[in-house]
Structure 1
Amino acid sequence: MPVFKISSSDLTNKPFIKHIAKFGKPIILSTGASHLYEVQEAISWIEEEGTPFALLHCVLNYPTPDENANLGMILGLKKAFPNTIIGYSDHTLPKDMTTLETATLLGSLILEKHFTHDKSLPGNDHYHAMDKEDLKLFLEKIEKRFQLLGNFSVTALKDEEPARQNARRSLIAKRDIPKGKTISKDDLTFKRPAHGISPKFIDEVVGKTALVDISEDTILQWNMLS
């Protein structure tokens, strides 16, 4: 395996953690039932060996009731350890997979959940594990959520271009403007569509001279002015 996984039950096991860290292989450390200072201590033991690691938010209830999922701790871990990969180890009942979906949207980069082919099998894990149908549902839902999120760039979408042209305003002749007149603010208003000079250029337009007769309600263009 390319990584070691250390369970929450070993978070305070200093000799074990240091032994694993000496291999130099990345470690995924669960933080269930832990206070912040305990997580910090475990991290210090790993960092003494210079070993890369990630943290998983985890709740040691099997299964975890929804009200105890405490997914906000994902953000707490991200804030406390801003340069660390944060994930989530889920022990809630699969249901509609909303828990894993929410954890992903909160920024979990690693997801851990028990998997079974038969939830009716005996044992402590099968009944709260997910199966292939749960996994399929999760993938469908999270794909839809990422589709809704889009990208995080602050930019107009290609599909918004018609709205940019038709919903925004242009500078319009508020009244007839004869050729040779120096244009004042009183000569101008703004209306849709945005097929002419943008209102953001009003200060540049005021003081220019009309090169042609401009009728009332005409959309102003730069070639009408000097």
Structure 2
Amino acid sequence: MVIAEIGTSHEGSIEKAKKLVDAASESGTDYIKFQWVYASEILHPKTGFVDLPTGKIPLYDRFKELECPPSFYKELLDYTHSKGKKFICSPFGLKSLEELLSIQPDAIKIASPELNHYKMLEALRDYRASQKEKIPVILSSGVSKMQDIEKALKITGTENVSLLHCITSYPAPEEEYNLKLITKYKKEFKIECGVSDHSLDPVLVPALSIACGGTIIEKHITLSRKTSGLDDPVALEPEQFGFMCHAVNQSLASINHYGADLGSKRIIEQISEQYGEERVKKVLGSGIKELAPSEKENYGRTNRSLHYMNDLKKGDVIKEGDIAILRTEKILTPGISPEYYDTLIGKTLTCDVSSGSGVMLSHF
């Protein structure tokens, strides 16, 4: 299936969001995806700044601008369904997850930075355990190591769960994609796999992902790369997105006609004629899981860790609200893994700490 990732490209406008749904629908996508944003679930207010065409503003404030009420997403779900497409959305914490589940989406997408948001994964697991037919879940695996993927899948389980290979870099270099990992994941985890593609080319990574056994392709869509959405610079405009869907259909036709092995070989041959054998070889990679060069520096910063939400003194006892599971991002120092959250509630500090700083075991 193809997922058109609108994300927050609507910038809070229901009219623009519907135009994006129209464009995605006409391009030939199957799923249309959004992001349910609350800034406080993602970042600490002191996380740093982002450069925009209008100037430099706090990244936290930029996310605050993208917050929308549940009614906004419910209207988009209904509008997406009216187009004959399925609605999928990413939550970023317990509040957004609960509200998203209340409108009954067709699937839940866990974005790469939330792969280690264990409290959210556990809440989703508990919800699915109460369902007779489990809602589909798609996990994205950018800026992660093999043990991170294994730990997430241990929580969610594998029933009606899919996995997307991803590089958390904007844009992501095609030559770093290592798409043979899709084949490895399918064999190792015995689930459907695909790619979340942040590269700029509309064909190279999507087509080769099918040759590697991928069955899901997610790519950002925007009305224009020149608009100010956070992901617009790496998104495809509608004409490009339609071209990608056409290339995907051609690749699928090859698989269906010739079978998996011969069809994959023919896709690789055709893409090699267009892009060159050496480049295709690099995109396919080794199939060995490791952080891509473009995302190594982001490991621990883009994904989640524990941060203090208040200035606290030596001798203070940690209570709910004093620490949070956040992305570190720009200028703060990462804390320890979110798996320690419950362990630290009720523990006593042995030093003063400042709001925003990363939580360390040595502080206790």
Q: Is 1:121 matched up with 2:191?
A: no
Question: Distance in 2 between the 1:28 and 1:143 partners?
Answer: 21
For the Cα contact (< 8 Å) 1:32–1:58, is it kept in 2? yes
TM-score by structure 1 length?
0.60
Q: Is 1:28 matched up with 2:125?
A: no
Q: 1:53 is matched with which residue? A: 161
Residue among 137, 150, 161 paired with 1:40: 150
Q: 2:244 is matched with which residue? A: 138
| Deviations 1:76-112, CA, capped at 9 Å, x for gaps | 212221x211111000013x52211111222211111
Q: Which moved more, 1:18-27 or 1:112-121?
A: 18-27
Question: Distance in 1 between the 2:194 and 2:250 partners?
Answer: 20
Residue among 188, 197, 202 paired with 1:90: 197
Taking a change above 3 Å as real, the CA distance of residues 148 and 20 of structure 1, as seen in their structure-2 partners, is closer
| Deviations 1:110-155, CA, capped at 9 Å, x for gaps | 111111011111243111111221122123323333444423299x
Residue among 199, 208, 211 paired with 1:102: 208
Residue among 170, 177, 180 paired with 1:72: 180
Q: 1:17 is matched with which residue? A: 121
Q: Judging by fraction of residues, say which structure has more helix.
A: 2
Letter in 2 for 1:134: Q
Unaligned runs of 5+ in 1: 155-226
TM-score by structure 2 length?
0.39
Q: How many residues align?
A: 150
For the Cα contact (< 8 Å) 1:116–1:126, is it kept in 2? yes
Taking a change above 3 Å as real, the CA distance of residues 11 and 146 of structure 1, as seen in their structure-2 partners, is closer
User: 1:69: Cα distance to partner?
Assistant: 1.8
Question: Distance in 1 between the 2:220 and 2:176 partners?
Answer: 18
Three-state SS of the structure 1 residue aligned to 2:138 is strand
Question: Distance in 1 between the 2:123 and 2:159 partners?
Answer: 11
Taking a change above 3 Å as real, the CA distance of residues 11 and 153 of structure 1, as seen in their structure-2 partners, is closer
Q: 1:8 is matched with which residue? A: 112
Question: Distance in 1 between the 2:198 and 2:260 partners?
Answer: 34
Question: Distance in 1 between the 2:182 and 2:207 partners?
Answer: 13
For the Cα contact (< 8 Å) 1:21–1:51, is it kept in 2? no
- More relative contact order, 1 or 2 (CA 8 Å, 6+ apart): 2
Question: Distance in 1 between the 2:252 and 2:216 partners?
Answer: 16
Question: Distance in 2 between the 1:153 and 1:105 partners?
Answer: 8
For the Cα contact (< 8 Å) 2:141–2:165, is it kept in 1? yes
Letter in 1 for 2:238: K
Taking a change above 3 Å as real, the CA distance of residues 37 and 126 of structure 1, as seen in their structure-2 partners, is same
Question: Distance in 2 between the 1:143 and 1:57 partners?
Answer: 20
**Whose Rg is larger?**
1
Three-state SS of the structure 2 residue aligned to 1:130 is coil
Identity of aligned residues (%): 27
Unaligned runs of 5+ in 2: 1-104, 129-134, 262-364
Q: Which moved more, 1:133-142 or 1:85-94?
A: 133-142
